[in-house]
Structure 1
Amino acid sequence: MPVSPSRRIKCAIAATAVITAGVGFGTATANANPVTSAATRYQEPGNLLKTLDIDALTGSGWSKVDNTTVEPEESSEETEQAVEPVAEPALAPPPPVVTPDELARIVPGVPPEKIGEIIAPLNDAMVRHGIDNPVRQAAFIAQLAVESDSFRTFEEYASGRAYEGRADLGNTQPGDGERYKGRGAIQVTGRHNYQKLSEHTGVDFVSHPELLATGENAFTTAAWYWTSRNLNEVADTAGIVRVSELVNGGHHALQRRVADFERGLNVLLQP
């Protein structure tokens, strides 16, 4: 019965595997007769190809190049009929993390004219720093809402004199308390934090602390503070009270923080 070229190739592959596996087994027993003819027969690749009847395969549409087989080239007619690639449809941009309407419902006290200014930098900061599920988002927005007086200000109303001499904040030089009072959407406070922010962002907040209160920096720096304290994990596991303690250092306006957090969850978990 005639053997197809594909079956011959499979036999060739199998035979090659057997030959390779059999190398070095000629001395298995001391009294065995050495099969010298077989060992000699397969020492040279040329003999192996002849043994596997590759010449017969050549006549069936296969060609031999450098003792290897290659598939026959397609005809020019088949090549000319190549199918043109179909352009994939453009993907729609992802929806914003929080919509203006959702933010207004989470923080009812936010001035309507402020929403358009802050929604883009708020979303960008959350996307870039992994604040990417409703629990984290609700906790983040709740803290920012309290610290910024519902996004009305990115600079602490008080003078900052209360922070003077606070070594725990890095305020070791005269005037540091007022110079490095709370700024940004999360009210970053103290020379030490301003220095860390400068290293992280490349913006010299130590020499120019007022830059921390600008809209372009307020949310970036708030997200830095959030991730530097690992507050995504804290929000996921320990809850809003612990998040509030790490942001504020105590329980100031805790009821408001919890209420905004719960409102945020209700809004963001709606289908």
Structure 2
Amino acid sequence: MVFLDRGVEIKTPDQIALMRRAGLVVGETLELMRASARAGISTGELDAIAEDNIRGAGAVPSFKGYHGFPGSICASVNDEVVHGIPGERVLAEGDVVSIDCGAIVEGWHGDAAITVAIGEVPTEVTELMRVTEEAMWRGIGAARLGGRVTDISHAVESHVRSQGSYGVLEDYVGHGIGSAMHQPPNVPNYGRAGRGPKLVQGLALAVEPMITLGGKDTVVLDDDWTVVTADGTWSAHFEHTFTLTPQGAWVLTALDGGEAALSALGVPFGGR
């Protein structure tokens, strides 16, 4: 492991392999969350299921105790964008819940998020989820060795803007990841291409667009964690951790390494 300017951490192949192990735990846990999220279950029950799965895989939940956060997942419902604390809230038909999950294997982190519809939701919400997830993949697909971090940012924003009138959060962004969950560099979901640190082998980034049906402004609730939209509109959040190899992008938190989604975009797959 070495550090470039601005504290950017560059991992060795063995360290990336440990991040892949952590990423697979995260990916498997999120698939379990997708299958478990239904009307009548509480976000606290989802949290317990997630923690059992993470620990059962020999990993440690990244989030639990992080700056005092009490859960193993973040569960953010409807107008809650990110950092929702799991607890007694019971999911109902027509809700959407964004579930963010992290795991640590031998000191190395994986981090990813999905948004799940609980039963039937309005078409505009389904479209919001589609656009947000696609924007994440467009961002990852724009990354190339020798490129710059904001190549990702520009691709995310450009896709969102091409799909309609949505709010792109600016106060909450993607990030570097490795021996800590949050590291430099920041990965905004907006901006001009060609800026920021260079994309090099051994760098790992979490790309996570947070998109709303309204504006970009947010408010933090009195629990000092839960971020909601200022205008009360609903939001979606998708995230993956990825790295670059000489062959292309390798999504460490996707069960297939991102091969299917990247191939659909005509982007080289760099997994092993």
Interval containing the TM-score (normalised by the shorter chain): under 0.3
Q: TM-score, normalised by structure 2?
A: 0.25
Structure scoring higher RCO (CA < 8 A, sep ≥ 6) equals 2
Q: TM-score, normalised by structure 1?
A: 0.25
